Structure 1
Amino acid sequence: MTGGSGKSLRARSQDEAIIEVTWCYYQDGMNQNEIAERLGISRATVVNYLSEARKRDYVRISLDSDIFRNQDLARRLVDRFGLQDAIVVPSAPGGSDQSLDRVTRVVADWLPSLLAPGDRLGVAWGETVYRVAEAAPRITVDDLTVVQLVGSRPAALGFAAETCSATLARRYGAHCVNLHVPLLLSERDLADRLKQEPVIRMQLEAVADCNKTLFACGTCTEDSHVVHTGLLDPSEVDACAEQGATGVICGRLIDRDGNGLNRDIEDRMIAVTLDQMRGKDMGLLVGAGENRAKPMLAAIRGGYATHVATCSETAAEMLKIG
């Protein structure tokens, strides 16, 4: 009993110390050495406490998204491709993965300003969308419904569709509509029957009824998400490329103009259709990396995107080839 109480007291004391260190650093403007001296702890402990504070979401560091909306490359993307808006962050010196991290963090801060009460936000899947959801601030967006756009499918590192939608809904205090079916069925008849189940039919109606979407357009290479999740066999990659496959939206392959390839697998999938992804009040397309320019352009040409978020290198490549 005593040991438990002592442990609880130590935990409370550490929590208070983390809060005190955080306040001194971010509110009082003290440096780490000054904080260590004031509190009688080591500088290494100060560093650890500040790191812990960020992990616990005690502190959220963000930049005004208008900085990136008004960037020259962002304005050029809007003008060239007829977008409603765009945001471009500086590419990271560490490569595509770090650039994507920058983009998704900025999108997480930008997205709430693009939402309004009563909106129905359709959320896709994959690493990019997952990163946005994980970086999203804990705020309340009034009367928001978040809808899972594709059925469930095993995905690496938690990038599954239901995780993306549920995480974002939780962050925004929104109602969540999950799509409780597999993304891919073994037979078309089975997929058709499942779609007619009352609960599933209601969920698919919510998918079709979304007025805004958050998505990425993936690649069609052997190391792409669509291959890792089994929606495209590695042996089919070259054949699909010959047919013009340029990108992937919600598991569906598109050509350079955004038209679907209409593979046989389409009839066995339960997910938002390409037609349902077009003509939204907002279609926020997120992506970064040297291999993302062509897929993102295909999504824009196809009418799926009204807003784009990317890094400076990807934006420059889009303008070069678009």
Structure 2
Amino acid sequence: MNEKADARTRRLDLAARAAWLYYIKRHTQDEIAADLGVSRPNAQRLVALAISEGLIKFRLDHPLLKSMELGERMRERYGLDTCEVAPSGDGQSERAGVALLAAQFIETLLASPTPQILALGTGRTLLATVREVTSMDRPDHKVVSAVGNLTRDGRASPYDVAIRLADRVGAQCYPLPLPVLTDTREECEFLKAQRGYGIVDALVRDADAEVLGVGSIGATAPLLIDGFVTPDELHQLEAAGAVGELRSHPIDAAGTLIDDAVTRRLTAVPPVSRPRRPTILVAAGRSKLTALAAALAGGYATGLVIDEPTAVRLLDGRP
């Protein structure tokens, strides 16, 4: 019994030496075999033994480690397929880091040789994302906007990202040239009954993937600042429990779509909970915390691109 124990100890000592030579000294397996006086296959087995016996402790020493760990925790917490966290402290803004990562997702989708349909929301972070997408020529792909791009007085939104992305990648573009919010419910229903709206609506629902921004509700709400709703309408939405919006559709803290006199005048295609296709939310900054938490609670995404400080606050439950 002692002889067996001694033999095992000697073999583990040899395995440790083999592992040291391989991982620290960067020796080849032939060099390890020569140094230890064993055959090359035996040198391979010794390195494998060191791994199986836990003699090697792996540590990743890289600035991205914290971001990768946060992404994994976010995936587990919110049941996401993917979560990319933009690291902080690299001299760029939170939005810039998120835009770079979100642009990579769009580029990967559009690199497909098979025709793809990409649905888009709107917003400042999405606009920054589109600016980071590499120019390419993809005439068989389609880019469609799920959100109207006009105010009620006819002014165009500066954050209509579908047209900008389509120009950048040479794709077919299907904008939604309608006011985000109409004056009456009857006007809204009339516009949505038009053939052009039906085409866009079908493309959004049939899209292969979607990238959405997340909007806050309150004094700094994009819907208010950009002139799509009046202060009175915003107050009505807040009174109904709205804490954020997706595709201009307000949601409450549980992620439930608000259904009231204001939202019944929205022309945007409503977001879908528990989507079957890749649906990526992009959000940056502390102001998006409440809205983002609601969107995740409602299950509107399969993936998320977020900045590191916001991810930490979400996981810690901090406002």
Q: TM-score, normalised by structure 2?
A: 0.70
Per the alignment, residue 317 of structure 2 pairs with 321
- Out of 185, 189, 192, the position equivalent to 1:192 is 189
After the TM superposition, which of the residue ranges 147-156 and 71-80 deviates more from structure 2? 147-156
What's the counterpart of residue 298 of structure 2? 302
Letter in 2 for 1:102: G
Aligned counterpart, 1:110: 105
Deviation at residue 124 of structure 1 after TM alignment: 0.9
Which letter maps to 1:298? Answer: A
The alignment's C-alpha RMSD in Å is 2.7
In structure 1, what residue type is equivalent to 2:275? G
Match among 48, 71, 74 for residue 74 of structure 1: 71
Conserved? CA contact 1:118–1:143, under 8 Å: yes
Residues 1:270 and 2:267 are matched in the alignment: yes
Amino acid at match of 2:307: C
* 1:86 to 2:79 alignment: no
Paired with 1:196 and 1:318, the residues of 2 have a C-alpha distance of 40
Deviations 1:38-65 (Å, cap 9, x if unpaired)?
xxxxxxxxxxxxxxxxxxxxxxxxxxxx
Q: Quote the Cα distance in structure 1 between the aligned partners of 2:194 and 2:156.
A: 31
Distance 1:307 1:139, change over 3 A: same
Report the residue type matching 1:127 in the other structure.
R
Alignment of 1:1-322 (within 5 A): 71-92=68-89, 98-114=93-109, 116=112, 117-141=114-138, 143-154=140-151, 159-161=158-160, 164-235=161-232, 237=234, 240-275=237-272, 278-321=274-317
Bigger shift: 100-109 or 136-145? 136-145
Q: Deviations over 1:196-248 (max 9, x none)?
A: 22233222222232231111111101122011133443345555445432211
Tell me how far apart the structure 1 counterparts of residues 280 and 162 of structure 2 sit (CA, whole Å).
15
Answer whether contact 1:125 1:159 (CA < 8 A) is retained: no
- Cα distance, 1:158–1:151 mapped onto 2, change above 3 Å: closer
Contact 2:116 2:142 in 1 (8 A): yes
Q: Deviations over 1:53-107 (max 9, x none)?
A: xxxxxxxxxxxxxx6897111111111111011111122477xx91111211222
* Structure index of larger Rg: 2
Give yes or no for contact 1:69–1:87 (8 Å, CA) kept in 2.
Answer: no
Q: Distance in 2 between matches of 1:218 and 1:70?
A: 23
State the SS of the aligned residue for 1:305: coil
TM-score of the two chains, using structure 1 as the length reference:
0.70
Partner in structure 2 of residue 48 of structure 1: none
Measured in 2, the distance between the counterparts of 1:268 and 1:254 equals 15
| One-letter identity of the residue aligned with 1:319 | L
Using a 3 Å threshold, how does the CA distance of structure 1 residues 271 and 283 change in structure 2: closer, same or farther?
Answer: same
Change (3 A) 1:240 1:177: closer
In structure 2, runs of 5+ residues without a counterpart are 1-63
Point out the more displaced range, 195-204 or 234-243.
Answer: 234-243
